[in-house]
Amino acid sequence: MYYYIFLCNRLYIILGLSLAFLLSSCNVERGNNRKHEEIYTPIESQSDRYERINTRLGTHQYNGYIVGYNGDSIHSPGEAILWTFTYIGAAECEDAYRQYSNYRENIENQDGQPHRILPIVRKDLWDYTDRGFNFDGWAGFIYGYSSLWNKCPEYREELKANWNQFHDRFIRQGKKLWPNGSHADIPPGFDIARRSFDRLVNNRSLPSQAYIRSLEGIIMVWMQGIQEKREACYRANLAFLHMLSLENIGYEFSSYFNSKYCSIMKPFDIPTIDYWCGHNDLNEWLDNYKLNEWDYRHQRCGSWEQPDGNIRPGRELLESSAIDYIFAYGLKYGNRTD
């Protein structure tokens, strides 16, 4: 009898150890799953966060422009038109059109000329006469206009009239974004977005695809220079906005450019461009977005730059407009109706 008890005890021990091993194996797998969930599962959904940030932008308005705040002061007021039209380009149709209407009401009450911000904030920030509207603002402007044209066809008659008013003034000013401004030129090659959108709006045939091939070469050289010298990456975003604008207009980039460009851009670590290139799906970035810390993240190279958020000294009170989140969200989920 004792022999059978001994065998049973040994059997229980063996079964217990085997069960413990199996459970520990399951726990390792579940532990990995939990870790995965901690990284990728947000406290709030991406759409809920989009709505919360979108609603919050109601308190980030300055005479029709979207701005951020650092305490009681407007943060980077000179970029207001860039952020405003980036939002218009990325937001859903009705939200985008509402913002566009607010902007138009402001400038029509002034002089009809696009401004970086109006009325001007802190005149010491720049030579206003020289840099009232520049290429940075233009990149957002053409992206916003071309996106709005695509996703809100019911407003095209109004958009056409407003565009032609702007474009006629542009031509009268000697093809400058700002009268007599030395920083008001659209760089060679990038002007194809203006010319092609003007033709699209006025129902004329688009310029040859050869202009796109030329721009592809310009962009690749530009990006290689930024990478080699570790320069400021905001220009990568300006080029990217032009690429998106040309896609809105109906152009396609060559497979050679797509491959080469995306190879060049991979070390930059710019989430929105990585998404366009197929290097990520933006889920992790959107899920883990740090409001007020990742300001301008969509135009900062993670490899050698920091976002302009409140992690920087002197910006502890920053209330970001979070346009980088709106831009990434719109890029991922689309905003076109046609």
Percentage of the residues of the chain whose pLDDT score is greater than 70: 76
Q: Are the beta carbons of 85 and 140 closer than 8 angstroms?
A: yes
Residue 29: per-residue pLDDT? 30
Range list of β-strands (E), 22-90: 61-62, 65-66, 68-70, 73-75
Q: What is the dihedral of CA 222, 215, 166, 80, to 10 degrees?
A: -30
C-alpha 98, offset from chain centre: 19
Residue spans of the domains in the chain: they are: 1-41, 42-333
Residue of higher predicted confidence among 265 and 305: 265
Short-list 293, 111, 139, 329, CA closest to 222: 139
Residue 197 has pLDDT above 60, yes or no: yes
| pLDDT level of residue 217 (50, 70, 90 thresholds) | very high
Q: What confidence tens digit (pLDDT) does each residue in 82-118 have?
A: 999 999 999 999 999 999 999 998 776 666 678 888 7
Span 227-250, average pLDDT:
92
Q: What confidence tens digit (pLDDT) does each residue in 43-55 have?
A: 789 999 999 999 9
Residue 296 has pLDDT above 80, yes or no: no
Residue 314: per-residue pLDDT? 58
| pLDDT level of residue 335 (50, 70, 90 thresholds) | low
Please state, as a whole number, how many other Cβ atoms lie within 10 Å of the Cβ of residue 74.
Answer: 18
Residue holding tokens 């497979």?
A: 255
Residue 55: per-residue pLDDT? 92
Tokens standing for residue 39: 């990284």
Radius of gyration of the chain (CA): 26
Residue of higher predicted confidence among 148 and 80: 148
Q: What confidence tens digit (pLDDT) does each residue in 27-70 have?
A: 333 222 222 333 334 578 999 999 999 998 988 899 899 988 87
Q: Are the beta carbons of 80 and 67 closer than 8 angstroms?
A: yes
Residue 317: per-residue pLDDT? 58
In one letter, which amino acid is 205? S
* Nearest-5° Cα angle at 175, 145 to 226: 70
Q: Is the dihedral of CA 63, 60, 151, 114 positive or negative?
A: positive
The lowest-confidence range among 38-47, 98-107, 243-252, 290-299 is 38-47
6-10 contacts at long range (C-beta below 8 A, 24 or more positions apart) = none
Q: What are phi and psi of 111, to 5 degrees?
A: -125, 5
Q: Are the beta carbons of 93 and 337 closer than 8 angstroms?
A: yes
**For the chain, the helix, strand and coil percentages under 3-state DSSP, each to the nearest 5:** 60, 5, 35
CA distance 141 to 248: 13
Span 126-154, average pLDDT:
84
pTM: 0.81
CA distance 79 to 234: 12
The lowest-confidence range among 13-22, 101-110, 130-139, 216-225 is 13-22
